[in-house]
Amino acid sequence: MNTAFIHEDFLLESKYARELYHRYAADLPIIDCHCHLKPSEIAEDKRWENITQIWLYGDHCKWRAMRTAGVSERFCTGDASDWEKFKSYAGVVPKALRNPLYHWTHLELKRYFGVSDRLLGPDTAQSIYDDCNRVITAPDFSCRSLMKKSKVEVVCTTDDPVDSLEHHIAIAKDAGFDIQVRPTWRPDMAFAVDKPEAFAGWLAKLEAAAQMEVSTVDALLGALRKRHELLSISLNSVSKWKVRVLPSLLDTLANTGKLPAALAFSLAALIAFYKGQPAADGGLQGDRNGAAYPIRDDADVMEFFQNRWRTFASDGNTAAMVSALLAHTSFWGQDLTQVPGMADAVTSGLQAIQTGGMRAAVESLLTGAK
């Protein structure tokens, strides 16, 4: 009998639980709709010097347990050394017995640091700290490597309205990293009117980010709406298509010899989406059945589409516009006009959208796929 606290059948108390987990659930990917991972650390593929930095620098659940146990704030978020903070947490862990925090503390120690022969406590703190720090020095122990090891497919970060999203943009442009990192809206500080000093400081940041004065409730709501637009699907959609769609399109073509019609059509839809007029905030504004929508991307991308749609307005040449886009290697990393059938498929899709509208074009695509 396995006497270790954490083992392969931990919490799986029946044969049905073990079968369901090991046969069906164990290898499933993680799609995390809420987390506190820092986008900057994912973008730079962060490495750490010791377990305290990865474990305690930003974990409010561990801080809460420490505070509840009477630990001074100096050992949670204060100026204590990393070893002192880890030692303080280790002293609290035995008191968390039967709390999920106790479970996942030891699950993490086993899964990522290989420590399963000891329970964390005051008497084992030093040896576990030293063993974990040795593991952290391994070449493959980095932010992105840990996400891949955990089979993460999608992770949604927690983002304030004043965040620039620059790190999300950098991640989306990185063709070598296929995990989706998506921003989510968390305007907690907009409700922090009971903390005047903190609220005033945040409000100044919101004004700078939204580029407008916020002196009334209506202005506050307007600034929040303006910042919320950055979380829309239009944010850097060209780089997203390159990273998330193009590899599947090329792989399908290589494996089957056929260009996937739906994926080729998605590029036609993207071109149609980027049809817009200059907006006051420096972006573009598109029109969908009389309703305006914002278009956000890098300046060179928006300039390209604005110029191509302006040219199309004068010559009506859909094929020329598609060819110019496909040949724009700075967008795709290659000349897509060289992909067999690509130019014709995208041109056909864009013409269908222009003549019959998006709904009719999609319905035709789906009917043809049956």
pLDDT for res 346: 96
| Tokens read off for 82 | 């990393």
pLDDT for res 53: 96
What are the backbone dihedrals phi and psi of residue 288, each rounded to the nearest 5 degrees, phi first? -125, 100
pLDDT for res 1: 45
| Tokens read off for 282 | 């420096």
Q: Which of 25-39, 173-187, 262-276, 339-353 is predicted with the least confidence, judged by mean pLDDT?
A: 173-187
Q: At what angle do helices 261-273 and 342-356 cross, to 10 degrees?
A: 50
pLDDT for res 105: 96
- Average pLDDT score over the chain: 91
CATH class as words, domain 47-141: mainly alpha
How far apart CA 290 and CA 105 sit, in angstroms, is 54
Closest by CA position to 128, among listed 142, 141, 114: 114
pLDDT for res 295: 82
In this prediction, residues 224-242 reach a mean pLDDT of 74
- Per residue in 34-88, pLDDT (tens digit) is 988 999 999 999 999 999 999 999 888 999 999 999 999 999 999 999 999 999 9
Q: Give the per-residue SS3 of 173-199.
A: HCCCCCCEEEEEECCHHHHCCCCHHHH
Torsion sign over Cα 29, 34, 35, 40: positive
pLDDT for res 72: 97
Q: Where in the chain is the domain with CATH 1.10.1040.10?
A: 237-369
Q: Is residue 10 classed as helix, strand or coil in its secondary structure?
A: coil
Q: Where are the alpha helices (DSSP H) in 257-298?
A: 261-273
Closest by CA position to 263, among listed 241, 236, 238, 240: 241
- Per residue in 149-192, pLDDT (tens digit) is 999 999 999 999 999 888 987 888 787 888 989 888 899 999 99
Q: Which CATH architecture has domain 237-369?
A: Orthogonal Bundle (1.10)
- How would residue 234 be classed by pLDDT, with cut points 50, 70 and 90? very low
Q: Is residue 18 classed as helix, strand or coil in its secondary structure?
A: helix
Q: Where in the chain is the domain with CATH 1.10.2020.10?
A: 47-141
How far apart CA 245 and CA 239 sit, in angstroms, is 10
Q: What angle do CA 261, 182, 178 make, to 5 degrees?
A: 55
pLDDT at 233 > cutoff 70: no
Q: Computed over its alpha carbons, how large is the radius of gyration of the chain?
A: 26
Torsion angle (degrees, nearest 10) of CA 103, 107, 109, 112: -160
- Per residue in 190-228, pLDDT (tens digit) is 999 999 999 999 999 999 988 899 999 999 999 998 888
**Tokens 């750490």 sit on residue:** 48
